[in-house]
Amino acid sequence: MSVESQGRRARARSRTPIRDVLAVREFRGIVLSQVASEAGDQIARVALALLVLSDTGSPLLAAATFAIAFIPSFIGGALLGPVADRFSRRSLMLGADLGRAALIMVLALVAVDGTPLWLLFALLLVAELFTPLFDSARAATTPEVLGDVSLVATGAAVTRVLSLANQAIGLVLGGLIVQLAGARLALFLDAISFLISYALLVVFLQRRPPAKESTQSIGVLFGDLGRGWKVLMADPSRRALVLLAWGMALPLVAPEAVGLAYVRQQGEVDTWGGFLMASVTTGAAVGAVLVGRRPPREQLDLVLPLAMLMSLPLLVTGIEPPIVILVVLWFLSGAAQAFLVPVMAFTTVLTANEQRGSVVGIAGAGFALLTTIGYLVVGWVASLTSPAFAVVVMAVVGLVVASASYVVWPATTLRADVRTLEDVGV
């Protein structure tokens, strides 16, 4: 273990963890680039969803706009995750930023009245293919940058908080920008955000060699994918964490999938839809801060209780309360989403560096697939019944998944694995 890593471990025990992770210059660069790109992404997605909802009046098609953003994460996360182990992770992130900037700029240019929806969806789909490559490379880089399980766990919380804050701000600003200036401006802002992210990574992130030998063979990458799947599913700790996250994907996306349609049904202005959806992400950000400051073993003990609590406030949506009350309820549900912080952190640090890209890519791909299905299912149920009823159905699904997880949870194994990481580092 290097002297620098030993120093970071010592500081993790003696100072405020969040201060420690932000003191690492490279990590600051990573989170600043995240702030730049994700805020723009959320603004653009809301803009497109409102554009589709205005043109079609269909909650299903509006939800499909959000769902499309996750389809590439399923395909690309599984297929491109191994690339993050065999090529420079810094170069992959930089290339992804440039690719997304170019395609979103094209999308902004064609987002005018009369443009077929299929063309808008197709451009968004291709642009989002770069996202899983970027995310896998970033997630695999973070343990290298931070070097200690406590710092990595807190770093995952910081990343989660910033992601949620970006969502909340983007959801609100997206509705405002579309009302004031139209969808095209929102898309141009998204393209610029990727260029800012690129510049930040160039300045802050160091060059590192690939974790494995580089290859141009597709067969080798598919072999890495198969080995990553075996590594993920053979280990009871990682398997339990990932399957819980996958199972909770549907109730996680339910409020965002139908928030805009719920507000329209209540006869309110679209801006309220942004606030309503943002209440979930704001609550999740607060919950991530509170959980992320706890020691790793305490974070682990909170995973299942929070997963169970997440669905309970959503059940009240069925009586269609006033939007102000629903904002509070969805905020509480969002706060319980903090169970994802230790799930993401421990899935990463429990995996060897040379396999992190593959494992993180597969985990992200499965979550993206079920998130995509969740958006479509919630939108479909809302179209047949009502947005409120769709949220209740997904809340019941969440309670069933969390209850089943209690039965099969490998608590002893997980605690032993975390103790080992605390003793020997990542």
pLDDT in tens, 308-366: 999 999 999 888 888 889 989 999 999 999 999 889 888 888 887 777 777 877 887 78
Q: What is the CATH number of the domain that holds 109?
A: 1.20.1250.20
Q: How far apart are CA 245 and CA 391, in angstroms?
A: 18
Domain count, the chain: 1
Q: How far apart are CA 265 and CA 276, in angstroms?
A: 13
Q: Is residue 412 part of a domain?
A: yes
- HSE at residue 82, side-chain half, CA atoms within 13 A, is 21
Q: How far apart are the first and last CA of the chain?
A: 10
pTM: predicted TM-score of the whole model, two decimal places: 0.65
Q: Is residue 8 part of a domain?
A: no
Q: Is residue 6 part of a domain?
A: no
Q: Is residue 387 part of a domain?
A: yes
Q: Which helix (H) or strand (E) holds 362?
A: helix 356-384
Q: How far apart are CA 92 and CA 246, in angstroms?
A: 26
Q: How far apart are CA 53 and CA 50, in angstroms?
A: 5
Q: Is residue 1 part of a domain?
A: no
Residues 177, 41 contacting (CB under 8 angstroms): no
* Cα maximum dimension of the chain: 61
Q: Is residue 353 part of a domain?
A: yes
pLDDT in tens, 220-277: 666 767 777 888 888 888 899 999 999 999 899 888 888 777 887 777 666 677 778 7
DSSP label at 207?
P
Residues 283, 161 contacting (CB under 8 angstroms): no
What's residue 363's pLDDT?
84
Q: Residue 138: which domain range?
A: 16-206+224-424
Q: Which residues contact 348 (CB under 8 A, 6 or more apart)?
A: 139, 140, 142, 143, 152, 156, 356, 359, 360
Q: Which residues contact 358 (CB under 8 A, 6 or more apart)?
A: 81, 82, 84, 85, 224, 225, 227, 228, 231
